[in-house]
Amino acid sequence: MDFPYLCTLNFNKYPYGMQKIRNIAIIAHVDHGKTTLVDKILHFTNLFRENEQAGELILDNNDLERERGITIVSKNVSVRYKDVKINIIDTPGHADFGGEVERVLKMADGVILLVDAFEGPMPQTRFVTQKALALGLKPIVVVNKVDKENCRPDEVYEAVFELFFNLDATEEQLDFPVLYGSSKQGWMGTDWKQPAEDFTPLLEAILEHIPPAPYAEGTLQMQVTSLDYSSFVGRIAIGRVARGVIKENQPVSLVKRDGKIVKSRVKELHTFEGLGRVKVQELKAGDICAVVGIEGFDIGDTLADFENPEQLEVIHIDEPTMNMLFTINNSPFFGKEGKFVTSRHLQERLYKEMEKNLALKVVQTDSPDSYLVYGRGILHLSVLIETMRREGYELQVGQPQVIVKEIDGVKCEPIEVLVVDVPAEVSGKVIELVTQRKGELLIMETKGDMQHLEFDIPARGIIGLRNNVLTATSGEAVIAHRFKAYEPWKGTIPGRMAGVLISMEKGQTTAYSIDKLQDRGRFFVDPGVDIYEGQIVGEHIRDNDLVINLVKGKQLTNMRASGSDDNVRIAPAIKFSLEESMEYIQADEYIEVTPKSIRLRKIYLTENERKINAKKFQ
């Protein structure tokens, strides 16, 4: 994103001897209100003029984040309160973006842990909190959404304390301040029964409990924990100055992750001020900055002294747990809707993504047109695919596969902790669905009028489970999961129960054919849609695949019969989202992804080829 040069800031007003800086990260589970809280803090500290329309979810500034209501990429902003600069880092709440969280926490001295007053600490809350406590960060707990019905702030506070204790928090970390409030209504206070007027109690707690950014004397050390791109100046390194001073036009050494040293020079230096960046001459240890002019850096590299470079500890990121095959689109509709369609385009885009997405890994396969992409989970990979299709890429992806390891001679697979909150009357259905997929029920307790269930389940068992659970509970289940550990292989898990309906012809679907074949299953396509041979057009009512002709039209004659010429009545087509498609397909199927369409297809398009290669997928 290009950024404006606002002005050159005069730092004499804020002497560094006093280190009037607080670096704080906001962490929480998905949809607990992090981004809304940041919005309200920005408004409260008068960052916008009275006549300026800032809107909502200011930091979730890309379309995908706004549509899904989640934070995918961490953001930096700063506000000023009582002459103190507070750098706020908004982090993703989903465990699939844990790689993003782990590195940005390195820039903070404290965290605000935001917890929903009804739901309490959730799996991803635990995941991110564990990382923050291990780094020794000082926490402030905010129990949000106390205006909700059925909220239970006191019980949630106890649950947070228990969580901290179980995560081996120090005595100082266990002595955390707690605030209650409603980000939406714009207040935070120490008593949830007596609403405060504004956010003053929260900002006061930050000044009182979060330690000032420490100033460390010595030669320069700064770790690159994030990056940005500008079409004017190229790649921009973002990180926190850990030691010494960094100046504009200063020669520096770039220490790579493998210890290799590259000499470079800082062309421009920016600090975060409000929602933008401000050009400065120099910055001292403790502040977060953006550096322009460094070539060839990666996340985790260290900017160090030109003469005597010293490397900071390399950021460790948890390994990926899942992989998918990405390949070029070779369907009969190749090149019709996309702008970037060749293997060169695909390779360049995936390697570019690897530069900033630390939890992602790309491996070349035997075929020059295909790549294995490793990620943290289905959401992590689907966000990449969705971003690529919006940029104009055409590609095909295979079935997600979990990464299996051999540990001490034993075949092991990733196990996840699955948490489901569901109405009590349908909890039996959920337990049955999860145990069919080798899930093991650990906890079953009542939370208000909901049943709280916790399972250990293989990661491959979660693929395709969400749809089944939501269907069985009429969409009322709240599902979350996080990686636990690698454990011995749990055995075979049943896949999709039903077969699929496959097109035998290329052409346009007709209402007549769909109507006549409705007793064979449910369709994924509407009348008048272009399809090709080998495309999956529906789900069969039985467990085998069936080849059908949806292109055939009615034979027209001059004769009309009153009984047989009824109006066609067709059930609406099922439309899968990208994630639902990823969970639905089997090993012998691909998803064809283009800027305008998501289609399911067989890898081998003709029936003869499918029979010849059937053994490959057994």
**What pTM was computed for the model?**
0.70
More confident residue, 557 or 593: 593
pLDDT classification of 375: cutoffs 50, 70, 90: confident
Angle between helices 153-166 and 123-134 (to 10 degrees): 50
Average pLDDT of the chain is: 80
Whether pLDDT at 5 is above 70: no
Q: Is 31 annotated as a binding residue?
A: yes
Task: Give me 41's structure tokens.
Answer: 């803090």
d(CA 365, CA 545): 29
Domains of the chain with bracketed CATH = 20-209 (3.40.50.300), 221-305 (2.40.30.10), 405-488 (3.30.70.240), 500-558+566-617 (2.40.50.250)
Whether pLDDT at 64 is above 60: no
Q: Is 125 annotated as a binding residue?
A: no
Whether pLDDT at 397 is above 90: yes
Q: Is 32 annotated as a binding residue?
A: yes
Q: How far is CA 11 from CA 19, 240, 242, 529, in A?
A: 11, 17, 19, 63
Mean pLDDT within 39-62: 52
CB-based contact 602:534 (threshold 8 Å): yes
What is residue 99's predicted lDDT score, i.e. its pLDDT? 56
pLDDT classification of 13: cutoffs 50, 70, 90: very low
Whether pLDDT at 4 is above 50: no
Whether pLDDT at 31 is above 60: yes
| Helix H or strand E encompassing 25 | strand 21-28
- Measuring CA to CA, which residue among 394, 398, 389 is closest to residue 335? 394
What is residue 71's predicted lDDT score, i.e. its pLDDT? 43
Residues of 95-128 as b/e, b for ≥16 C-beta within 10 angstroms? bbbbbbbbbbbbbbbbbbbbbbbbbbbbbbbbbb
Mean pLDDT within 126-144: 83
Q: Is 36 annotated as a binding residue?
A: yes
pLDDT classification of 535: cutoffs 50, 70, 90: very high
Mean pLDDT within 534-541: 93
Amino acid residing at 514: I
Strands in 136-233 per DSSP E? 138-144, 178-182, 187-189, 221-230
Whether pLDDT at 90 is above 90: no
Using DSSP's 3-state secondary structure scheme, residue 188 falls into: strand
Residue whose tokens read 């309906």:
501
Whether pLDDT at 73 is above 50: no
Q: Is 365 annotated as a binding residue?
A: no
Q: Write down the H helix ranges in 489-534.
A: 511-516
More confident residue, 476 or 48: 476
Mean pLDDT within 280-286: 86
DSSP 596: S
Q: Residues 146-160: pLDDT tens digits?
A: 877 777 888 888 888
Q: Is 34 annotated as a binding residue?
A: yes
What is residue 50's predicted lDDT score, i.e. its pLDDT? 38
- Measuring CA to CA, which residue among 420, 442, 440, 438 is closest to residue 430? 420
pLDDT classification of 536: cutoffs 50, 70, 90: very high
d(CA 380, CA 64): 12
Q: Residues 597-617: pLDDT tens digits?
A: 999 999 999 999 999 988 887
